[in-house]
Amino acid sequence: MNFKKKLTLVGAMAAVAAFALSGCSAAVSPSGGADGAKEKIFVNLSYSGNNWQDEGANLAMAVAQAPEVAAKYDVKKVISGSDPQKQISDLQSMIASGAKLIVLYPISPTALNPVIQQGCDAGVTFVAYDGTVEAPCAWNISYITGARTEDPEQAFFGAQTAQALVDLLGGTGEVMMNRGVAGTSTDTVHYDTAMSVFNQYPGIKVVNEFYGNWDSSVSQQEATKALAAHPGVDGIWSQAGEDGVVKALEAAGMEIPVTGENSNYLRQKLSEGWPGVSSGSAPAQGAVAVKLGLKILADGADSVPKDIEMPLPWVTTETAKVCPAAEFVDGCNFFAQADDSFVTEIFEKSVLPESSYTAATTGAAVSALQALPSMDTLAQPASRRIYTRGVCDAGWTTGPVEKGQVPAGLPGCVKK
């Protein structure tokens, strides 16, 4: 069973709630007479309720509703909750209603394959963001296998943050791991690549693992429990929810290195001298996916690579810096006015210059779209394809990747 990144597990109630809301933006309702001639674009979102999903959705809609897009296309938003079956039936409705482009947050990498293939056959363009789909005809934009901009050889969030933690600890110490949602492909990739680093250091001992479900509150509770048992722990490796981990540490009076994702609170603590690293998934992906889809419609399928890797943000104790206002200027990278669990990475200078704090928090349409530069530099190396497509490209086979990637030896695709 594959759930998805950042979708904290929601019960039947939340799914029903999201379903109820999605009714307001019904996928299949006939469009008004004036819009009848326009081609249709759908932005297919997941359950909203945590900051990551909220910002990703807002940014995607802010771009999709830009004046030049709205003039040409009929843009609709559909929320599919957390249930793959619901997303499949929503996608079927969109295809049936004549969708030209569907930008989606995929709930499962595999369950949507048949419906996506069916849509491709009907001439629909699919762009998946953050999560990935294995259907070969869809575009993927994801950070899961992404590398740092300063050094493109340093790939994988899990591995890079694990290495950073090892370095902060000088190669020896007891480590705890705050994982995501059990059984999801994203959690597995992060965890496996992190363990491959920890296992290289005999001095590093993983004393406890818990599942914080990418949720700040659950992470805080689980960290509180684990810290009671391991008061001598030296560092914590965390997926999203790390703001809860830091709060549990503060309540226990411990200031030890923490690596985690992009919450405003972790960056604030880093800027105050807390040892650690902030990296991981950027909500800006949602908006980049919409721009990518628009470019495919305008310039054709060959104008952009099929597999796109978003670069890994990387903020440390030395580089964390509060922004004077609502922009990333002069190397600043978090906001004084934002909530603790606000995900700071709403900008992507090269491909999303039109982003703004307002767009991320309200979804208000951006005033004008900037042209997308060549995406070739962000193409995913074929050696990492197995993580997002489930298979290697033609002419490649599975095997350990020894060259061009740090850490060496991770499973991947190699040339036959």
Partner 1 sequence: MGTAGGQAALMWALVILLVPLSRVFSSNFPSAAMVNSTIMLGLFLAIVAFGQGLVILSGGIDLSVPAAIALGAFFTGFFANEGFPTPLAVGLGLLISSLVGLINGIIVCSTNFPPFIVTLAVGTIGAALLLGVSQGQPGQNSPPELVALFNGELNVLGAAPSLVMLIAVLMLGYLIQSRTTFGRSVYAIGNSMKAARIAGIRVKFSTFLVYWVAGIAYGLAGVLLLGYGSGSDLNIGNSWLLPSIAVVVVGGSSISGGTGNYSGTVAAALLITLLSIDISAAGFPEGVKQILYGAIVLLALLLSKIGGGRR
Should residue 208 be labelled a site residue for partner 1 when binding is judged by CB under 8 A? yes
Structure tokens belonging to residue 49: 């309720």
Binding mask 221-260 for partner 1 (x = CB under 8 A): xx-xxxxxxxxx----------xx--x--xxxx-------
**Token digits for 24?**
């307001």
- Token pair of 33 as six digits: 């007479």
Residue 48 in contact with partner 1, rule: CB under 8 A: yes
- Does 344 contact partner 1 by CB under 8 A? no
Q: Least separation, in Å, of the C-beta of 114 and partner 1? A: 29
Q: Give the footprint of partner 1 on residues 367-406 (CB under 8 A).
A: none
Q: Compute the CA torsion angle 7, 8, 10, 14 (nearest 10 deg).
A: -60
Smallest separation, CB 220 to partner 1 (Å): 6
Neighbours of 408 (CB within 10 A): 12
Q: How is residue 119 written in tokens?
A: 């849509």
Cβ contact 189:155 at 8 Å: no
Query: Binding of partner 1 at residue 195 (CB under 8 A)?
Result: no
Q: Exposed, middle or buried, 37 (CB in 10 Å: 0-12/13-18/19+)?
A: exposed
Nearest distance from C-beta of residue 298 to partner 1, angstroms: 30
Q: How far is the CB of 251 from partner 1 (least distance, A)?
A: 5
Please name which of 128, 129, 202 lies closest in space to residue 166, comparing C-alpha atoms. Answer: 202
Among 4, 18, 234, 412, binds partner 1 (CB under 8 A): 18
Residue 65 touching partner 1 (CB under 8 A): no
**What 3-state class would DSSP assign to 355?**
coil
CA angle in degrees (0–180, nearest 5) for 43-46-51: 105
Q: Which is nearer to partner 1, 15 or 414 (CB)?
A: 15
CA distance 156 to 411: 12
Amino acid in position 100? K
CB of 359 to partner 1, least distance (A): 13
Count of residues interacting with partner 1 (CB under 8 A) = 53
> Which is nearer to partner 1, 143 or 211 (by Cβ)?
211
Exposed, middle or buried by CB within 10 Å (0-12, 13-18, 19+), for 174? middle
Smaller CB distance to partner 1: residue 184 or 383? 184
Distance from C-alpha of 256 to C-alpha of 250, rounded to nearest angstrom: 10
CB of residue 147 vs partner 1: minimum separation in angstroms? 29
Q: Does 272 bind partner 1 (CB under 8 A)?
A: no
Give the list of residues 6+ apart from residue 300 with CB closer than 8 angstroms, or none.
none
CB-CB contact of 237 with 178 (8 Å) = yes
User: Applying CB under 8 A, does 336 fall inside the site for partner 1?
Assistant: no
In the complex with partner 1, the residue whose CB is nearer, 340 or 354, is 340
With beta carbons less than 8 A apart as the criterion, state whether 396 and 386 touch: no
End-to-end CA distance of the chain: 31
218 binding partner 1? (CB under 8 A) = yes
Q: Is 326 in the site for partner 1 (CB under 8 A)?
A: no
Shortest Å distance, C-beta 50 to partner 1? 5
Contacts of 287 (CB under 8 A, 6+ apart): 59, 60, 62, 63, 352, 355, 359
Q: Applying CB under 8 A, which of residues 5, 40, 43, 54 lies at the interface with partner 1? A: 54
212 part of the interface to partner 1, by CB under 8 A: no
Residues 171-190 that bind partner 1 (CB under 8 A): 182
Among the listed residues 217, 316, 317, 319, the single contact to partner 1 using CB under 8 A? 217
Helix (H, G, I), strand (E, B) or coil at 29: coil
Q: Return the range that interacts with partner 1 (CB under 8 A); candidates 2-10, 66-74, 190-198, 407-415.
A: 2-10
Task: Give the interface segment with partner 1, choosing from 84-92, 275-283, 334-342, 394-402 (CB under 8 A).
Answer: 334-342
Q: What are the residue ranges of helices labelled H in 281-372?
A: 285-299, 357-362
Interacting span for partner 1 (CB under 8 A) from 4-12, 142-150, 165-173, 295-303 = 4-12
Nearer to partner 1, 50 or 405 (CB): 50
How far apart are the C-alpha atoms of 413 and 398, rounded to whole Å? 4
User: According to the binding rule CB under 8 A, does residue 11 interact with partner 1?
Assistant: yes
Distance of alpha carbon 363 from alpha carbon 60, whole angstroms = 8
Shortest spacing between CB 307 and partner 1, in angstroms: 29
Interface positions with partner 1 (CB under 8 A): 8-11, 13-14, 16-18, 20-21, 24, 48-51, 53-54, 57, 182, 207-211, 215-218, 220-222, 224-232, 243-244, 247, 250-253, 339-341, 361, 363
